[in-house]
């Protein structure tokens, strides 16, 4: 990605998206930048700030990786994983360096990213977590059949997911349904909520409520979790197309982890004004 120097005018950032799942990206490799909760929330305000589904910060790799990424939701809470932001940043970094593969450290662990034959950047989101402590859940229950009306599946992708397999993903009011389940007491760290409609052995329709964000047009980790949930139930194979509100993602659950692929876009670079930054002090 192009360099984004931080100067007296304010704080430089990039705006990116994967199928409308949008991100503010701050590159801290050249100069450290503190990102307190107040700044994260102000940046995430779509009317008074920039607006994003997630904020991502780029740091140097911590253990031989090319990059380290950290993520926040618009409400200021941290997230260990963000598949589409990881792909967007990897695509920009590959464009800057001319490389076709990268290793990236996130709260999910060490991830691989590479450019596929179709030009899209793929990222291995890691082996899915299906044990109740790992997701995490508040108590020992069957993660394939949670004791919640609607019989959802729980999956960990570095962040927790609650996937409801439904006949028609369009039929439910996602806003009220997602808000009602995000803070379910079975999920001590809250949860992402997915409505998953199985259309074929290799195709699902997905609608997404992200914890700390709300309804989003796409989500890489949610697509991975939904694909894992339907495959564990025997409703699909392990490789499939995931149709989200913003377009189409490809998910392939392999022995080494869940691979995610799809389009990315680097929309613009900008600089937060000194006046905006001053208001937060």
**Total domains present in the chain:** 2
Same domain as 275, residue 223: no
2 in a structural domain: no
CB count within 10 Å of CB 32 equals: 8
119 in a structural domain: no
Q: Please give the helix or strand (H or E) that residue 137 lies within, else none.
A: none
Q: Compute CA distances 52 → 47, 48, 215, 264, whole Å.
A: 11, 12, 12, 15
189 in a structural domain: yes
**CATH, residue 177:** 3.10.310.10
pLDDT per residue as tens, the chain (281 positions): 544 444 446 899 999 999 999 999 999 999 999 999 999 999 999 999 999 999 999 999 988 999 999 999 999 999 999 999 999 999 999 999 999 999 999 999 999 999 999 999 999 999 999 999 999 999 999 999 999 999 999 999 999 999 999 999 999 999 999 999 999 999 999 999 999 999 999 999 999 999 999 999 999 999 999 999 999 999 999 999 999 999 999 999 999 999 999 999 999 999 999 888 888 87
Same domain as 180, residue 98: no
């Amino acid at each position: 990605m192009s360099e984004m120097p931080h100067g007296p005018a304010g704080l430089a950032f990039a705006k990116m998206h994967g199928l409308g799942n949008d991100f503010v990206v701050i590159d801290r490799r050249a100069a450290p930048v503190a990102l307190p909760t107040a700044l994260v929330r102000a940046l995430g305000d779509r009317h008074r700030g920039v607006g994003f589904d997630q904020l991502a910060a780029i740091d140097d790799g911590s253990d031989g990786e090319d990059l380290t990424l950290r993520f926040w939701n618009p409400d200021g809470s941290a997230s260990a994983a963000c598949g589409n932001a990881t792909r967007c940043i990897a695509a920009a970094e590959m464009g800057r360096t001319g490389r076709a593969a990268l290793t990236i450290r996130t709260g999910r662990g060490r991830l691989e990213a590479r450019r596929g034959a179709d030009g899209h950047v793929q990222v291995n989101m890691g082996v899915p977590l299906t044990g109740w402590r790992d997701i995490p859940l508040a108590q020992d229950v069957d993660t394939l059949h949670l004791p919640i009306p609607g019989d959802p599946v729980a999956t960990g992708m570095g962040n927790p997911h609650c996937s409801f397999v439904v006949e028609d993903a369009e039929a439910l009011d996602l806003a009220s349904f997602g808000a009602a389940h995000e803070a379910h007491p079975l999920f001590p760290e809250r949860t992402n909520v997915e409505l998953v409609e199985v259309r074929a052995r290799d195709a699902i329709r997905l609608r997404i409520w992200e914890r700390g964000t709300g309804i989003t047009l796409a989500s890489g980790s949610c697509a991975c979790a939904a694909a894992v949930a339907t495959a564990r139930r025997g409703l699909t194979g392990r490789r499939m197309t995931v149709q989200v509100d913003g377009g189409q993602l490809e998910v392939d659950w392999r022995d080494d982890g869940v691979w995610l692929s799809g389009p990315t876009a680097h929309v613009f670079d900008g600089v937060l004004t000194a006046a905006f930054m001053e208001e937060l002090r």
